[in-house]
Structure 1
Amino acid sequence: MLINGKSETRIEANDRGLQFGDGLFETIAVKDGAPCLWRRHMERLLGGCSRLGIKPPDIHQLRQEVDREIGKAGRGVIKIIITRGPGQRGYRPQAESQPSRIISFSDEPSFPEQVHQRGIVARLCSTRLGWNPALAGLKHLNRLEQVLARDEWNDPSIHEGLMMDAAGRVIEGTSSNLFVVQDEKLYTPDLSRCGVAGVMQGRVIEIAEELDIPVIITDISLQDLWVADGLFLTNSLIGIWPIRELSGQEFSLDALPRNLIDAVQERGYSLS
């Protein structure tokens, strides 16, 4: 682990990331020794820094530190955390705050065999996402809603849980974005009130448009799920996970756009 460029595992107790969750993070797949979708992750990170008023990191320096942390590993996961840095007591940020950089590498996660062909089992979570348009779309450090949602089940056969907002709209998985397939069109939730704008979600939308598959961003209700032709999830580590069962209801995988799934698996992890 690197903290501000030094091999370290401890951070100052008054760091605002620890005190208030005042910061952002990126989770990046590493393949062939390089961080995938680097440009897109950095665009989201810099956009988040701008919205939160955090001094942005030097991307060249950040990439050097990421490459150093990856070392000779061929595959794995890089996590980047940017906090506003150490601060005084109280919520008000200090103008002179110096952001902290935390970079860690971990092994590639182990996913079920042939999950992209057979699909996964998912459930609905009772924990709801609160509305906050000021933070909507950001991958900020405040993840307690997701922590509570993920703590709702221990069954290893269930791979993900879907979360709704306060009005009952379906927003996302605990660590993934949702797509609904209906009449050969893709629908994905509006994230203007809450939720994380996923890097892989954006890549999937781009590839779908290249394949002339219509993508519609809109509010999605529970009823929309129950009558859908198919469902799938995305994030930067899993790519695409088809859902074969949601809270006891089975879904056919035949309606899913196989050309899109294959294209994402083949070129969805580009370096840019």
Structure 2
Amino acid sequence: MMWVNGLAQESIEARDRAVQFGDGCFTTARILHGKMLQPEAHRQRLQQACERLMIAGVDWQLLAQEMVAIASTIDDGVMKVIITRGSGGRGYSACGCQQPARIMSLAAWPTHYLRLRQTGVCLALSTVRLGKNPLLAGIKHLNRLEQVMIRIELEQTAADEALVLDSDGMLVECCAANLFWRVGEQVFTPDLSASGVNGIKRQQVMQQVIGFGYALSEVRQDYQVLADAEEVLITNALMPVLPVSQIEAWRYTSRDLFSQLNPDNE
């Protein structure tokens, strides 16, 4: 099911800049009992991305109303919300783009996350590297070709997710999740100032681990540091937290932090 500018339809203009240039941003949220979880955080994410991309004219009140109305049409699932710069302009120029477009869609929640909470996630090291671009780092913009290539490569393996590095070989994230690892009372997550997506769940987990009394560090590190990790976790708004059981030849059995973040394993 899909809605474009509040109307139920399955298509957008071919001239829309999302089609032409990937000019826009998006967020993906869990729907539970007909309500979007953390709606304000998702709205803020979109607003911050639009500010970074200089997309003006979004009716945020109308967008919030549409998200509530569309979420209420299902009991359990996933909502994707896209904002594009709209149609107009010649070539790369955005002159003439009068009105941003709002695109929303619903899908089933990935039930395999339930299995992975029990078995743990197997990560495969991706050969596809992320480019460094501080201007776009952190936001969930529509230019996702790197992730598409990572996913295509991942699907040729038996792994559940990909471990992704930047062009310097430093840890960044997974294909569709953020990364954390624990060594004793220290928790680490990659520095995303040059590439990667600063996920809503990542931000929440960072606050939680500090509250639990761990020392938290955002670092630029080679993936070999994971050989010494006692525990590795991945996060996104849908999982929302999963334990990692294996990365290449390294195996992990501790679930101390995972248990604190998921006291009821829900």
- TM above 0.5, yes or no, is yes
Distance 2:205 2:113 in 1: 21
Identify which range, 248-257 or 41-50, moves more after superposition: 248-257
* Aligned equivalents of 2:5, 2:36: Cα separation in 1: 19
Q: How many residues align?
A: 265
Q: Does structure 1 retain, via aligned residues, the 8 Å contact 2:89–2:97?
A: no
1:185 corresponds in structure 2 to: 186
1:46–1:56 contact (8 Å) kept in structure 2: no
- Residue by residue over 1:87-119, the C-alpha shift from the partner in whole angstroms, topping out at 9 and shown as x without a partner, is 233112116431000011111112154422431
* Aligned twin of 1:203: 204
Separation in 2, partners of 1:210, 1:23: 35
Query: Residues 96 and 11 of structure 1: is their aligned pair in 2 closer, same or farther, counting only changes over 3 Å?
Result: closer
Q: What's the TM-score, normalizing by structure 2?
A: 0.94
CA distance in 1, matches of 2:245, 2:57: 41
Task: Tell me what 1:230 maps to.
Answer: 231
Q: Which moved more, 1:204-213 or 1:136-145?
A: 204-213
CA shift at 1:255, angstroms? 5.0
The aligned residue for residue 43 of structure 1 is: 44
- Look up the SS of the partner of 1:145 in the other structure: helix
Q: Are 1:2 and 1:65, in contact at CA under 8 Å, matched by a contact in 2?
A: no
Partners of 1:240 and 1:144 lie apart in 2 by 25
Q: Distance in 2 between matches of 1:58 and 1:218?
A: 37
Is the 2:34–2:73 Cα contact (8 Å) retained in structure 1?
Answer: yes
1:105 and 2:106 correspond: yes
Contact 2:241/2:258 (8 A) holds in 1: no
Residue 138 (1) aligns with residue 139 (2): yes
- Structure-2 residue corresponding to 1:220: 221
Q: What is the percent sequence identity of the aligned residues?
A: 36
The aligned counterpart of 2:246 is 245
The answer for unaligned runs of 5 or more in structure 2 is none
Distance 1:33 1:71, change over 3 A: closer
Show the counterpart of 1:78: 79
Kindly provide the CA deviation profile for residues 221-266 of structure 1, in whole angstroms up to 9, marking residues without a partner as x. 1121111111110000001111101123212224545212327x66
The answer to whether residue 59 in structure 2 is matched with residue 69 in structure 1 is no
Displacement after TM superposition at 1:149 (Å): 0.7
CA distance, structure 2, for counterparts of residue 45 and residue 142 of structure 1: 15
What TM-score, normalized by structure 1, do the two folds share?
0.92
Deviations 1:163-205 (A, max 9, x none): 1001100100000000011122110000000000000001111
Partner of 1:152, secondary structure, is helix
Partner of 1:29: 30
Aligned mates of 1:140, 1:15 — CA distance in 2:
15
Q: For the structure 1 residues 112 and 37, does the alpha-carbon distance in structure 2 shift closer, same or farther, using more than 3 Å as the test?
A: closer
Amino acid at match of 2:7: K
CA contact (8 A) 2:88 2:96 kept: no
Q: CA RMSD in A?
A: 1.8
The alpha-carbon deviation at position 8 of structure 1 amounts to 1.2
Contact 2:173 2:179 in 1 (8 A): yes
Counterparts of 2:40 and 2:62, CA distance in 1: 14
Q: Is residue 179–residue 231 contact of structure 1 (8 Å, CA) maintained in 2?
A: yes
Q: 1:56 to 1:227 in 2, by over 3 A?
A: farther
Provide the C-alpha distance between the structure 2 equivalents of 1:95 and 1:189, rounded to a whole number of angstroms. 39
Offset of 1:130 from its aligned partner?
Answer: 0.3
Counterpart of 1:269? none
Distance 1:207 1:222 in 2: 24
Letter in 1 for 2:148: V
Larger deviation, residues 226-235 vs 91-100? 91-100
Tell me the distance in 2 between the aligned counterparts of 1:159 and 1:56: 40
- Contact preservation (8 Å) 1:199, 1:236: yes
